Structure 1
């Protein structure tokens, strides 16, 4: 009789364990877990860093508070197959900014759109109107090296197609020696007259160009007359896993409720944004080229 009772108890405990496990799994899938786990780069301003100074950090704090969750991070360098080794691997719930056209994740609606820009000294009378400007042929041009993922930025393609390759100075996007803010080196080179013009992704230009004030002119690039297949402006959204549509919808509601606060965060970080409807053509998937 005692053996039967023990067997029944074991069965009850087993059933309870399975039930609790199923509930926890369903809760996580529905976005009801107590923690809001964000995958982010520990040193990639203006996006994120471990000190919480990036705009992604601040948006993550805002969303976690709105959803009543505890904010946690899983840190990983963005130039090392970031999405595959973080979000897709189940190590976090969200990535705060990804291109909205990225097919390997499910995204909210875009919450901002930015573009590649041309950065020059404000007192340079030549100005930049398009990649067809004749003076570019002999100009000292700065371009950022994306990394080892085989992705080339749209401005680099436009420059290469015109054969303006003789006077290009490459600048690192990532620092293997852990030096601070390598993305800002190209902006400093313009300000210091080491190069004439830099073609940079807008958030980097806006953030690192702030300290130079009106000494720099930053002009958005919306299209290239000779390269209609190149996209320069991209809408950015929050990314979740493919099976996390419920969490995506909750995040969308939180974004809608906090739209004005998010706009202030982006503005304070110097992020140049544009009206998505003003951009010609369609949007491609590449903008933070390391995110894959």
Structure 2
């Protein structure tokens, strides 16, 4: 990928747009600030809910603030109006900011920190409908025919393996109003995935756990989240990971900052875990 992975398992997404305007500002309401000291410049998108939002209330905005506080630094978000997939290329690599959240641990484009949480792909279903099991193969049951998924993710690959992709294409495009995906980044909004299941338009949503957890928590219709086992592979036997450690990324030559972030993540881990639980984000060990 060309920017944040967020459990995308290396899916190819073309970052073909030009650099967006970036604006730096210290976080205000609802985000802690350390008195004095250096700032921690964090790349942030205004359009990446539930992770990052213009009011600094995205759950990763708040995690960044906890880590900055543990470092004794003032949090400074460097904002972009583009999706977060452009943050490494247009923000971090251009020295406009120093930290990117939500990269898969070991992302080769950055020097990644130790993870601050681990999650994976999940099924979202209605509690009053048929149960679904924890294997990706369970989505192949006859009870499930319409799936809300994001483009270019393992969820699409699952549907292809199950023989349910072609019949789902038109529905999937309807989730973005049939907007052309060529030469631009077009993605299904995370809250849309959940609302489609809640309304009965989709039988199942298949999504990254942290994409949908906060919206499942606040859904007016009771929904169930089932973590999918990490047992998915392509027809040729190539394994497609479904569980991912989520880390922070810095420039590869910024080893001192990476070490400082590692220490701060450990210091703030109890507060981070509490925040994730409150947001309804399904987590895997070591969080559980």
In structure 2, the partner of 1:144 is: 150
Q: Aligned partners of 1:55 and 1:226: how far apart in 2?
A: 31
TM superposition score normalised by structure 2: 0.74
**Where do residues 176-187 of structure 1 align in structure 2 (5 Å cutoff)?**
182-187=189-194
Q: Aligned partners of 1:263 and 1:35: how far apart in 2?
A: 24
Q: Aligned partners of 1:210 and 1:130: how far apart in 2?
A: 23
Q: Aligned partners of 1:125 and 1:163: how far apart in 2?
A: 20
**Where do residues 50-129 of structure 1 align in structure 2 (5 Å cutoff)?**
50-76=54-80, 77-78=82-83, 81-129=86-134
Q: Aligned partners of 2:50 and 2:122: how far apart in 1?
A: 16
Tell me by how many angstroms 1:97 deviates.
2.3
| Other structure's SS at 2:92 match | coil
| Bigger Rg, which one | 1
Question: Is 1:195 matched up with 2:202?
Answer: yes
Tell me by how many angstroms 1:166 deviates.
3.8
In structure 2, the partner of 1:268 is: 278
Q: Aligned partners of 1:56 and 1:79: how far apart in 2?
A: 12
Match of 1:206 among 193, 210, 213: 213
Task: Give the alignment's Cα RMSD to 1 decimal.
Answer: 2.6
TM superposition score normalised by structure 1: 0.73
Q: Which ranges of 4 or more aligned residues in structure 1 deviate by more than 4 Å?
A: none
Q: Aligned partners of 2:280 and 2:134: how far apart in 1?
A: 22
Question: Is 1:44 matched up with 2:48?
Answer: yes
Structure with the higher helix share, 1 or 2? 1
Q: Deviations for 1:8-64, whole angstroms, at most 9, x for unmatched residues?
A: xxxxxxxxxxxxxxxxxxxxxxxxx82211001112122111101111111221222
